[in-house]
Amino acid sequence: MDSEALRKYSALHPKPAGLTLQYGTAGFRSKAERLDHIVFRMGLLAALRSKAVTATIGIMVTASHNPEEDNGVKLVDPLGEMLHPSWEEYATQLANAEEQELQKVITEICQKAAVNLHKDASVFIGRDTRPSSKKLSQSVIDGIQVLGGQYHDYGLVTTPQLHYMVCCQNTQGQYGKATLEGYYEKLSKAFMELIKQSHCSGESQRHLKIDCANGIGALKLSEMKPYFPQELLIHIYNDGTKEKLNHLCGADFVKVHQKPPGGLDMKPNDRCCSFDGDADRIVYYYKDTAGHFHLIDGDKIATLISIFLKELLAKVKQNFKMAVVQTAYANGNSTRYLQETLQVPVHCVKTGVKHLHHKAQEFDVGVYFEANGHGTVLFSKAAETKIRQLVKEEKDNEKREAAQMLENMIDLINQTVGDAVSDMLAIEAILALKGLTVQQWDALYADLPNRLLKVQVADRRVIDTTDAERRALTPPGLQEKIDALVKKYKLSRAFVRPSGTEDVVRIYAEADTQENADALAHEVSLAVFHLAGGKGAPPQP
């Protein structure tokens, strides 16, 4: 390690006094002006991680659905998955080390993780469209170069595209070509092959209005447009030329406020969807003839995909194990529909993509979506091999056609991470193949009315949970109180969990009517306020 270079460059990216940040599910996020030293040090860490695993590592500069003034950075592991949890700790240590300790911390990480500094390092870099992202990715490059690493800067890409590139590179091209053209070609080819198999006489041209959150999704969709068949007509709104990123638009805004984004001209029964700022989440919605807004969130997306895959799996007659993975935030009626009507096993895990992804890997076909629209489908190596073999060798027409559709789904879905573009194409193909309108999709089940609240507390660590965050272990008496409140309402449930980032406790409640869901959420928030050290005035209904 060149101590002189480390000292020199570290001084160019000084750490503000007294600032500590924690690497979480979303990496680091903060106001952009506080991140220069962090991204420089994550360049160092990416080089170390690459040397440790002798593979290419990704580093993405984005703050996803946060306001434009914020930014962030996260690392991508060799198969396009999220950074290994033990390295999240190293990231936090490195980010918060004082300048004079930097070399010592790097040496400690090398010892703990058995990193050989003489090995080569290779890092792929991507960034979103925020004004601060270009300068920050330059600081990343400084970090990589201090440790003698090689890098490839992809410039402006969606987060899922960077995950895809990293996976392609480390599978020696088995997953695809590590270029944007490779990504566009693979997805569009699989999409076209799928809709070619559609025998329904529904609308021949499918119009879709897309709110791109004034972010990177707009740029990349425009680049991809020439690859789409004429059957799919996409209309891009909030393309970033006029308004600020994520301002009154994007998947997060639509999901939280349960209303259409600004900047999108929505007529009754138009099919619409929204990406978030870095295009790794998607939600659909429409307005009925009476003018009512209908949101189709991640739970309903998972349900549609599950229906389609379950039918195909039944036709190929292999004993593939399929399951859907959800979090406690999934609407109760989606869980009921999947388990009782579709007869698909459902597993509940802690909030956070890494928990969902990890659980989904246990099945031949694992579907996971968070209610916020982030999700994907994972196929086991064995299932994928078998499906591709059936396409080549199966004599029975029905079986072979089903296997072909499954093969195209495998190629269309970005299995590394939730991907708004890939998920959108999968949804559009399924709707076309099944001849479904967005209203018919929505009518699969009715969501139970629900309410999300948060309560400020002095210390969020007083709340400890179990059973995939559905029950509170501490403080004493809180869970008993919640149980008693839930008993008062029909079809109800409620849970509380500490925020991962701030001193607030998040509350979720659902019941048979909106009035009851609101009342239950309020009563639970009062219980949290009194038993878990609430700050300020008690919550008002």
- 365-396 residue pLDDT tens: 999 999 999 999 999 999 999 999 999 999 99
Annotated binding site for substrate: 370-372, 497-501, 506
Name the DSSP class of 338.
Answer: I
Backbone angles phi, psi at 150, to 5 degrees: -95, 155
The side-by-side arrangement of strands in the sheet containing 293-296 is 232-237, 206-211, 272-275, 282-287, 293-296
Fold match flag (183-295 vs 298-420+437-443): yes
Per-residue pLDDT, averaged over 195-199, amounts to 80
For domain 3-156, the CATH class is alpha beta
Handedness of CA 40, 66, 305, 340 (dihedral sign): positive
Annotated binding site for Mg(2+): 64, 276, 278, 280
Task: Report whether 375 contacts 302 (CB < 8 A).
Answer: yes
Per-residue pLDDT, averaged over 64-90, amounts to 95
Annotated binding site: 64, 276, 278, 280, 370-372, 497-501, 506
Residue 254 corresponds to which tokens in the numbers above?
A: 């639509």
Q: For the domain with range 298-420+437-443, which CATH number is right: 2.60.120, 3.40.120, 1.10.287, 1.10.10?
A: 3.40.120
Residue 166 corresponds to which tokens in the numbers above?
A: 């990293």
Does the domain at residues 183-295 carry the CATH identifier 3.40.120? yes
Statement: residue 455 has pLDDT above 50: yes
* pLDDT category of residue 1 using cuts at 50, 70 and 90: confident
pTM of the predicted model as reported, rounded to 2 decimal places:
0.94
Q: Which of 14-18, 411-415, 416-420 has the lowest mean pLDDT?
A: 14-18
Residue 70: which region, alpha, beta or left (left: phi > 0; alpha: psi -120 to 50)?
A: beta
Return the domain boundaries, the chain.
3-156, 183-295, 298-420+437-443, 450-532
- Indicate which residue of 64, 133, 422, 525 is catalytic: 64
Q: Which of 22-31, 273-282, 479-488, 505-514 has the lowest mean pLDDT?
A: 22-31
CA 270 – CA 439 distance, rounded (Å): 10
* pLDDT category of residue 199 using cuts at 50, 70 and 90: low
pLDDT at position 256 is 86
pLDDT at position 92 is 96
Q: In residues, how long is the chain?
A: 541
64 is catalytic: yes
Q: Identify the residue whose tokens are 């027409």.
A: 397
Name the DSSP class of 294.
Answer: E
Report the CATH number of the 450-532 domain. 3.30.310.50
